[in-house]
Chains A and B, each alone.
Chain A
């Protein structure tokens, strides 16, 4: 490689390295703002901007969904496995909304632990399989669980998927 090519190679490398560093530093500064939503733990810890609208994400707690008679208003709880926050929402829910589903709700905290949502989005995981396979997996999972220590139904439902959904 001749001198000039070497010089150009070094210039290109400096260019990539420089921009890379700048962007890394920039992203670190913006880190919080790049979160699309906050987890219940973060909200309880006071890390979310509770005075204005923000997004709260978590898994819909099993057995927590209560629908009002008008058919549009729904109350449920979201959890990240550690903390729980109650959500009230009036409007159309996405098709995927159900117990154990990851969701992201946009709205405001009315009181600590109670969130009023203006919009609820569903967040699905990255697993794709036919229903029969999912059934078989769930069955195997349950049998495995019943042999081992008995855990509360809620916990077994939340913990294994929390990692992949949140």
Chain B
């Protein structure tokens, strides 16, 4: 039953139709969560005892950093699935994620710098956390460049899958860097199990913004994947029917 559903989902045509139905919902949820998160985070959340208002950058910095890791893990998983089972959809998921992952990594780095300047006293420090996150950005950019450089889509997907799998070792390094080495960057607040180190009034906007970012990723990856599917399947009947049918609607 499950296997049957996965096989059906993996068919580009079915995926295209299903994702089309999801898009408006994801768009609405994304906007709603961003709106709630921003209002809570920028207006209602109290000031921090140490950092005053400046800690509000956290509400965009931390979700972006989480997304940068999560998207990479998804890409690596999709890459492995593609290498082993040769499922076309897995390759599309991986390559559709790359630019979004790069965007979130970039946002995490820039907002981190803008937070670091007033609090630490510097925009940038070559500590283990910041450096490994920068390497992550280069991995994303390397992936995009490699995909562009290889003309044959199958070999491109293969090479990119290998690259993304090799880079996976960077993920635990980013996550644990603040524990393994002395860094300027502070430790984790939310994943710490013993004592809650973030007050509930600040945790709620953080989680809302995280949900918003997840919806954004779901939305954009589907949009991107749909574009790629249309292009790859352009010689099939269903794409032809879809495009010519939509002609009148513009």
Binding site for B on A (CB under 8 A): 5, 8-9, 11-12, 15-16, 19-20, 23, 27, 31, 34-39, 57, 92-96, 104, 119-135, 164, 166
Bound: A96/B184 CA distance, A: 14
A108 nearest CB across to chain B (Å):
18
Bound: A152/B182 CA distance, A: 27
- CB-CB < 8 A to A104: which residues of B? 184
Determine if A126 and B187 form an interchain contact, defined as CB atoms under 8 angstroms apart: yes
B83 is an interface residue with CB less than 8 A from chain A: yes
Main SS class of interface, A: mixed
A-B pair count, CB < 8 Å, reads 123
B176 nearest CB across to chain A (Å):
11
B27 is an interface residue with CB less than 8 A from chain A: no
B70 is an interface residue with CB less than 8 A from chain A: no
Instruction: From the candidates B168, B182, B187, B198, name the one contacting A36 in the complex (CB within 8 A).
Output: B182
Instruction: From the candidates A34, A119, A124, A126, name the one contacting B181 in the complex (CB within 8 A).
Output: A34
Bound: A111/B86 CA distance, A: 64
B233 is an interface residue with CB less than 8 A from chain A: no
Q: Which of B18-26, B120-128, B147-155 contacts A (4 or more CB under 8 A)?
A: B120-128
Supplied contacts A36-B126, A128-B189, 20 more A-B pairs, CB within 8 Å: A15-B165, A19-B165, A20-B169, A23-B173, A31-B181, A34-B181, A35-B181, A36-B184, A38-B182, A94-B118, A96-B50, A104-B184, A121-B184, A125-B50, A126-B189, A128-B55, A128-B197, A131-B46, A133-B49, A133-B199
Interface string of B101-136 (1 = CB under 8 A from A): 000000000000000001111100111100000000
Determine if B119 and A95 form an interchain contact, defined as CB atoms under 8 angstroms apart: yes
- CB-CB < 8 A to B126: which residues of A? 36
Determine if A126 and B184 form an interchain contact, defined as CB atoms under 8 angstroms apart: no
Determine if B162 and A130 form an interchain contact, defined as CB atoms under 8 angstroms apart: no
- CB-CB < 8 A to A131: which residues of B? 46-49
**19 A–B contacts from the bound complex (CB under 8 Å):** A12-B83, A15-B162, A16-B169, A19-B168, A34-B180, A36-B126, A38-B182, A39-B182, A57-B182, A96-B50, A104-B184, A120-B121, A121-B121, A124-B50, A126-B192, A127-B189, A128-B55, A130-B201, A131-B46
Bound: A8/B87 CA distance, A: 13
Q: What residue of chain A has the Cβ atom nearest to residue B48's Cβ?
A: A128
Determine if A121 and B46 form an interchain contact, defined as CB atoms under 8 angstroms apart: no
B100 is an interface residue with CB less than 8 A from chain A: no
B84 is an interface residue with CB less than 8 A from chain A: yes
Determine if A128 and B184 form an interchain contact, defined as CB atoms under 8 angstroms apart: no
Determine if B182 and A37 form an interchain contact, defined as CB atoms under 8 angstroms apart: yes
Q: Given contacts A5-B85, A94-B120, A95-B118, is CB(A129)–CB(B181) below 8 Å?
A: no
